[in-house]
Amino acid sequence: MSQLMASDAITGIATSERKGMITLDLRPTLTLTDEQFAQICQNNRDLRFERTAKGELVIMAPTGGETCSLNLSLGSQLWQWNQIHKLGKGFDSSTGFKLPNGSTRSPDVAWVRLERWNALTPEQQRRFVPLCPDFAIELKSPSDDLADLQTKMQEYLENGLQLGWLIAPETQQVEIYRPNQAVEILNHPKMLLGEGLLPGFVLDLTADTSQM
């Protein structure tokens, strides 16, 4: 893994380029408000943006067809389960969650318990969701750095995540994240269970993909 550090002579904004991701350290030149960050996302729909707890702007390249297809399968399975049980709200990768530590993250798949969602005002529900999801999936694409995704999963845990899955199709491995527990690593799993948080939910990892 390589990292390139540069400094823009005009703006003074430091740039960190990693595999599949560019991070702009805007401080102290610029501090983005929620409205400005939302406008950047709106104006550049072909890219995915996140903000770190330090206020850095993270730019991620679009994923390829295979990853997008698998991500759609994962989200669809959660949606179908939720349609039956109606215990919460599901979200896709375009949803921004403003975590308690100040970062804005967009898991590939996320779910929030209904009582937490209903406690938000209509305005809060329309904007970046001001909480950490109860459940999240991060799907590693070929352009992603595994260490970056692992750091993100730990950040979710520190901000209230109850269950998280980091799925790496290339290695056919899944990391399971739970509060106050060591990360559980599964090799070549065919399915994952939603445990007590998502009762009855079974994620079929063989659906629409031959990689898992």
CATH code at position 104: 3.90.1570.10
* Distance (Å, whole) CA 104 – CA 128: 8
* Distance (Å, whole) CA 49 – CA 53: 14
pTM: 0.83
Output DSSP code: residue 124.
Answer: H
Confirm if 138 and 154 have CB atoms less than 8 A apart: no
Quote the tokens at residue 22: 């560019």
Same domain, 89 and 162: yes
pLDDT higher than threshold 80 for residue 157: yes
pLDDT of residue 47: 79
Same domain, 70 and 54: no
Same domain, 32 and 73: no
* Distance (Å, whole) CA 146 – CA 144: 6
Q: For all residues of the chain together, what is the average pLDDT?
A: 86
Same domain, 50 and 98: no
Mean pLDDT along residues 147-170: 97
* Each residue's pLDDT tens digit, 19-58: 567 888 876 667 778 888 888 888 887 778 888 888 888 8
Cis peptide before 199 (omega within 30 of 0): no
Residue matched to tokens 């898991």: 107
Domain interval for residue 44: 4-60
Same domain, 121 and 150: yes
* Each residue's pLDDT tens digit, 113-135: 999 999 999 999 999 999 999 99
pLDDT of residue 152: 96
Same domain, 143 and 70: yes
